[in-house]
């Protein structure tokens, strides 16, 4: 009897030991499972991070052919007409610039009327996405003391090469440096005018070169914001990876700016222009053209009236901060 009890006791002890062992094994296996899940999650995160990094590095060469085919689509132009734009009589000088990769950029410098004397202030024009810029040379009532430089993007007008964000940013610096080095140009009085897409290149240039002011006509805050509005189901921001982000650069620029917006703009809607104006780091003024659409604002007298007033204030003001008695980001 006592032996049976002893054996039973041993059996009970063995069962308790087995249960403890099984419980420990269960805990160990749960730990291994959780560790596996953590490692798998980390592997997924590393993969995603790698994909994002790959996009950051590779999106340029992936997107450039897309840019060339779908973004930069200039209307055809008459090359024989463009060759006749410049003449001594009309004060328009033909300009050709050679880029570091051997491409020739073509455009015109419209000199101020009257006898040449001291160096003149200059407006450098960056056009929109569809047209070369010769048609703007004689548009509007421009202030007489100012010169105007129109250089077409690669692939536009008589400029060679293929356009892309990367090369056009480089070309913008070349155009500025050429203008500032001319003996007949006052390098301390250079203003940039960017129309639509050209606003991006004007703002990017203002971030890297000293400018007296910027005129931004029908601008946008960023391609990501435009894309998210039109294609909410696409990860536009991830794909663009910060490219064409005008508002991201705006707070660092302290030069005064004039924003000219078209009230019924369906290409770069007016709210995107006002968002850029709010982000601007210097004094600014916003003018909205009532009833205007995206195209054709250069044919409206109000556009050139606002531009002329801005340039006259630039010229008469000893410092760029005094051009507008308006706080940065406000709208009079």
Mean pLDDT, the chain, integer: 81
In this prediction, residue 297 carries a pLDDT of: 95
Query: How large is the average pLDDT for residues 149-155?
Result: 96
In this prediction, residue 54 carries a pLDDT of: 43
In this prediction, residue 65 carries a pLDDT of: 53
Q: Is 217 exposed, middle or buried (0-12, 13-18, 19+ CB in 10 A)?
A: buried
Query: How large is the average pLDDT for residues 197-223?
Result: 96
In this prediction, residue 5 carries a pLDDT of: 39
Helices 197-208 and 165-181 cross at an angle (nearest 10°) of 60
pLDDT band at 16 (very low <50, low <70, confident <90, very high): low
Whether the pLDDT of residue 46 is over 70: the answer is no
pTM to 2 decimal places:
0.77
Which among 210, 220, 211, 208 has a CA at the least distance from the CA of 268? 220
Which among 163, 156, 138 has a CA at the least distance from the CA of 148? 138
In this prediction, residue 39 carries a pLDDT of: 44
Whether the pLDDT of residue 38 is over 60: the answer is no
Distance of alpha carbon 220 from alpha carbon 216, whole angstroms: 9
pLDDT band at 215 (very low <50, low <70, confident <90, very high): very high
Quote the DSSP letter at residue 133. S
Whether the pLDDT of residue 76 is over 60: the answer is yes
Q: 26 or 285, which is more confident? A: 285
Query: How large is the average pLDDT for residues 80-88?
Result: 85
User: CB-based contacts of 120: which residues, under 8 Å, 6+ apart?
Assistant: 111, 112, 145, 146, 147, 184, 185, 186
Helices 223-230 and 270-279 cross at an angle (nearest 10°) of 150
Of 65-69, 132-136, 218-222, the range with the lowest mean pLDDT is 65-69
In this prediction, residue 327 carries a pLDDT of: 36
């Amino acid at each position: 009897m006592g032996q049976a009890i002893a054996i039973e006791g041993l059996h009970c002890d063995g069962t308790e030991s087995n249960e403890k062992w099984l419980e420990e094994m269960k805990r160990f296996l749960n730990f291994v499972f959780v560790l596996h899940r953590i490692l798998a999650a980390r592997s997924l995160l590393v993969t995603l991070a790698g994909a994002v990094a790959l996009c950051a590095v590779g999106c340029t060469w992936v997107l450039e052919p897309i840019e060339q085919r779908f973004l930069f689509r200039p209307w055809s132009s008459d090359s024989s007409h463009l060759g006749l734009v410049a003449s001594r009589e009309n004060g328009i000088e033909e300009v050709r610039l050679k880029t570091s990769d051997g491409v020739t950029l073509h455009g015109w410098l419209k000199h101020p009327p009257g006898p040449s004397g001291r160096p003149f202030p200059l407006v450098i024009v960056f056009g929109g996405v569809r047209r070369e810029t010769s048609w703007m040379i004689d548009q509007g009532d421009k202030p007489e003391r100012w010169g105007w430089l129109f250089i077409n993007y690669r692939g536009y007008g008589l400029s060679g090469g293929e356009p892309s964000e990367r090369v056009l940013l480089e070309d913008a610096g070349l155009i500025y440096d050429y203008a500032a080095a001319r003996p007949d140009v006052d390098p301390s009085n250079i203003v940039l005018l960017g129309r639509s897409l050209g606003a991006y290149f004007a703002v990017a240039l203002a971030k890297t070169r000293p400018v007296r002011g910027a005129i931004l006509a029908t601008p946008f805050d960023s391609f990501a914001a435009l894309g998210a509005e039109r294609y909410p189901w696409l990860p536009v921001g991830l794909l663009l990876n910060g490219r064409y982000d005008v508002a991201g650069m705006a707070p660092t620029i302290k030069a005064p700016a004039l924003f000219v917006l078209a009230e019924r703009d369906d290409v770069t809607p007016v709210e995107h222009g006002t968002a850029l104006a709010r982000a601007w780091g210097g004094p600014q003024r916003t003018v909205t053209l009532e009833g205007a659409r995206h195209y054709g604002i250069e044919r409206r007298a109000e556009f050139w009236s606002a531009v002329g007033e801005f340039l006259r204030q630039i010229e008469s003001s000893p410092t760029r901060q005094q051009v507008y008695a308006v706080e940065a980001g406000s709208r009079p």
